[in-house]
């Protein structure tokens, strides 16, 4: 196992230049490291916490990220690969700038065990000890109800494409190969799952492609939920008016069986034939969180303290991103928000100071309904000191209607969150 030599950070933004804005915890730039934080996972949450730990500790916390992938591939915008207006190569990025700009040590390896009592993690090729651990494991799929989909071969035929990458490319190829008049069947798993508006955006993107290329075809959406669970009015309108006769939306339709040979799926009501089948399984906190036994809520999600994202089960271990149990959308923006609250809290805690007692942050999820037009849902979330959870503040809401202007802003959002997370 190789750990890169530690680079010295270039202090940016709220660094030394802004003396009067400095906090006591910052005034340590020339002192020895305050300690080591190991971050497991380099997605939106993990990459972001690593960056902000380095910036806000002014380089005095040593940060080591452990990530199994060589590359960052963005889930946001990946539905546009299905619609045809983006390529997966537009959404794939190197970690190099993040590492070098902030002096983050990077270990390309897979975690095999976590010992919270000795504060050690084991990987395929070595071990690391930590003062604090941040687990940003993303999601893991649950195949208990649909075991026939668990294998790699089955997922060649029926991709989830719910982690952007080759499965996204595969699903796009299947859509391109589908004859006009074909049926694309997809599902929405029971909430909570990663990216609440995502499946509906996907249905719209597939419909956009079909409307322009194979207008006799259909998208059947089997929703395990009782209704569209995000931007309901907007998506209903898009399905009914923009994609009339193409999107066939069916609420309360849980998939209970899949016949891979016959290409049919069974719900409680029906058996549906699919030319192309896309099943997004139910989800839980990623494998690393399960390894540390932190997924205590419904055996799926991790309970945390919302002032620091420290696990309720293991001291000095923090969990951020989609794996967290919260009444918060599992979005990329939310993952970065949690990462920032967590980074800020860790810097304080390691300096023996208290974290912010009332965190507030803004969250937005954009969805594209054509190649150019988008809609949003936006809310400010605020810590409730009585309930000890994050609650949405007054004044949030959704777009009045889809617009190309919001399509441009959604693109700007993507470029800014990528730069904020990866440079």
Partner 1 sequence: MLLHVRTLAASCAACHGTDGNSVGSSINNHATATQNDLSHINSLAAIDKTDFISKMQAFKLGQRPATVMHHHAKGLTNLEIEDLAEYFSRLPAHQAAVLQSQPLLKDHGH
Ranges within 190-219 binding partner 1 (CB under 8 A)? none
Helix axes 332-350, 44-56, angle to 10 degrees: 30
Residue 341, classified by CB atoms within 10 Å of its CB into exposed (0-12), middle (13-18) or buried (19+), is buried
Report how far residue 83's alpha carbon sits from residue 79's, in angstroms, rounded to the nearest whole number.
Answer: 7
**Stretch 343-402 residues interacting with ligand HEC (CB under 6 A):** 362, 364, 378
Number of neighbouring beta carbons within 10 Å of residue 199 = 26
**CA dist list (Å): 272 to 203, 212, 245, 280:** 17, 24, 17, 16
Q: Is 409 in the site for ligand HEC (CB under 6 A)?
A: yes
Across the beta sheet with 218-223, the strand order is 247-250, 218-223, 183-188, 276-278
Report how far residue 408's alpha carbon sits from residue 411's, in angstroms, rounded to the nearest whole number.
Answer: 5
Q: What is the DSSP code string of 371-383? A: SS-EEEEEEEEEE
Report how far residue 325's alpha carbon sits from residue 302's, in angstroms, rounded to the nearest whole number.
Answer: 5
Interface size with ligand HEC, residues (CB under 6 A): 5
Q: Is 413 in the site for ligand HEC (CB under 6 A)?
A: yes
Residue whose C-beta lies closest to ligand HEC: 364
Q: Is 41 in the site for partner 1 (CB under 8 A)?
A: no
- Closer to ligand HEC by CB, 177 or 408: give it: 408
Q: Is 379 in the site for partner 1 (CB under 8 A)?
A: yes
Cross-strand pairs, 360:
382
Q: Is 420 in the site for ligand HEC (CB under 6 A)?
A: no
- Closer to partner 1 by CB, 322 or 406: give it: 406
Q: Is 83 in the site for partner 1 (CB under 8 A)?
A: no
Task: Identify which range of 9-17, 34-42, 239-247, 322-330 contacts partner 1 by CB under 8 A.
Answer: 9-17
Interface size with partner 1, residues (CB under 8 A): 71
Nearest to 254 by CA among 284, 221, 285: 221
- Among 56, 106, 193, 239, which residue sits at the site for partner 1 (rule: CB under 8 A)? 56
Q: What share of the chain is helix, strand, coil (3-state, %, to 5)?
A: 30, 30, 45
**Residue 237 Cβ vs partner 1, minimum distance, rounded to whole Å:** 17
**Stretch 231-270 residues interacting with partner 1 (CB under 8 A):** none
Report how far residue 158's alpha carbon sits from residue 155's, in angstroms, rounded to the nearest whole number.
Answer: 5
- Say which entry of ligand HEC, partner 1, none residue 214 contacts (CB below 5 to 8 A, set by partner kind): none
Binding mask 325-354 for partner 1 (x = CB under 8 A): -------xx--xx--xx--x---x------
Q: Is 184 in the site for ligand HEC (CB under 6 A)?
A: no
Binding mask 29-68 for ligand HEC (x = CB under 6 A): ----------------------------------------
- Say which entry of partner 1, ligand HEC, none residue 6 contacts (CB below 5 to 8 A, set by partner kind): none
- Closer to partner 1 by CB, 74 or 253: give it: 74
Q: Is 308 in the site for partner 1 (CB under 8 A)?
A: no
Contacts of 318 (CB under 8 A, 6+ apart): 132, 133, 134, 135, 304, 308, 309, 310, 311, 342, 346
Q: Is 157 in the site for partner 1 (CB under 8 A)?
A: no
Nearest to 392 by CA among 383, 400, 401: 383
Q: Which residues bind ligand HEC (CB under 6 A)?
A: 362, 364, 378, 409, 413
């Amino acid at each position: 196992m190789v750990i890169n030599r530690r680079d010295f950070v270039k202090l940016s933004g709220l660094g030394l230049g802004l003396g009067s804005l400095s906090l006591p915890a910052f005034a340590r730039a020339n002192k020895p490291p305050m300690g080591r934080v190991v971050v497991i996972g380099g997605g939106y949450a993990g990459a972001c916490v690593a960056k902000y730990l380095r910036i806000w500790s002014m380089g005095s916390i040593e940060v080591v990220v452990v990530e199994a992938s060589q590359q960052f591939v963005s889930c946001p915008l990946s539905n546009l690969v299905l619609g045809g207006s983006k390529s997966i190569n537009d959404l794939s990025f190197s970690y190099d700038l993040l590492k070098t700009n902030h002096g983050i040590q990077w270990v390309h390896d897979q975690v095999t065990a976590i010992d919270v009592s000795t504060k050690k993690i084991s990987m395929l090729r070595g071990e690391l000890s930590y003062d604090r651990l941040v687990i940003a494991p993303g999601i893991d799929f649950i195949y208990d109800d649909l075991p026939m989909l668990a294998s790699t071969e089955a997922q060649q035929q029926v991709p989830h494409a719910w982690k952007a990458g080759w499965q996204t490319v595969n699903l796009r190829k299947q859509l391109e190969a589908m004859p006009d008049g074909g049926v694309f069947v997809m599902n929405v798993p029971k909430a909570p799952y990663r990216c609440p508006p995502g499946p509906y955006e996907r249905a719209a993107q597939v419909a956009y492609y079909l409307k322009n290329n194979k207008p006799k075809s259909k998208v059947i959406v089997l929703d395990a939920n009782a209704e569209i669970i995000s931007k309901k009015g907007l998506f209903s309108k898009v399905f009914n008016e923009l994609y009339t006769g193409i999107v066939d939306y069916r609420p309360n339709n849980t998939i209970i069986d899949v016949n891979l040979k016959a290409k049919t799926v069974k719900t409680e009501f029906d058996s549906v034939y699919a030319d192309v089948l896309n099943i997004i399984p139910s989800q839980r906190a990623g494998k690393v969180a399960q390894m540390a036994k932190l997924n205590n809520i419904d055996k799926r999600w991790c309970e945390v303290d919302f002032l620091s994202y420290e696990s309720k089960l293991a001291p000095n271990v923090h969990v951020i991103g989609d794996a967290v149990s919260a009444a918060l959308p599992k979005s990329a923006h939310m993952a970065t928000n949690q990462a920032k609250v967590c980074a800020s809290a860790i810097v304080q805690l390691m300096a023996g100071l208290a974290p912010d007692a009332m965190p507030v942050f803004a969250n937005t999820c954009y969805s594209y309904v054509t190649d150019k037009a988008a809609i949003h849902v936006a809310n400010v979330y605020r810590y409730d000191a009585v309930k000890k959870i994050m609650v949405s503040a007054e004044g949030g809401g959704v777009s009045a209607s889809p617009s190309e202007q919001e399509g441009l802003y959604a693109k700007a959002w993507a470029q800014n969150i990528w730069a904020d997370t990866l440079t």
